[in-house]
A and B are shown apart, each in its own frame.
Chain A
Amino acid sequence: MQVIVDFLRKSQTQYLATIGTDGKPKVRPFQFKLEDGGKLYFSTTNDKQVYQEITRHPYVELCACGENWSWLRLSGKVVFSQDRSIKSRIIKEAIPLIKAVYKTPDNPLWALFYLDEVTATIADFSGNPPQTLRL
Chain B
Amino acid sequence: MPSTSNHVKAVTEFLVKSQVQYLATIGLDEKPKVRPFQLMLEDGGRLYFCTSNQKPVFQEMQKHPHVEFCASGANFSWLRLNGKVVFSKDLGLKARIQDASPIVKSIYKTPDNPTFEVFYLADAAATIADLGGNPPQTFRL
Residues of A near any B CB (own CB < 8 A): 13, 15-19, 24-29, 57, 59-63, 65, 71, 73, 75
Contact = CB atoms under 8 A, between A and B. Distances in A.
Contacts of B66: 24-25
Contacts of A16: 34
Contact of A28 (B26, B64, B67, B78): B78
Given A17-B24, A27-B70, A28-B70, A59 B34 contact: no
Q: Which of A25, A57, A63, A65 has the most CB of B within 10 A?
A: A25
B37 to A, nearest CB: 10
B9 interface: no
Contacts of B94: none
8 contacts: A13-B72, A19-B26, A19-B32, A59-B32, A60-B32, A61-B31, A61-B33, A65-B20
Contacts of B23: 27
Nearest to B82: A24
B98 interface: no
Given A19-B32, A59-B32, A61-B33, A25 B24 contact: yes
A27 B68 contact: yes
B22 to A, nearest CB: 4
Contacts of B33: 17, 25, 61, 73, 75
A17 B26 CA distance: 9
B26 A25 contact: yes
A62 B7 CA distance: 28
B119 interface: no
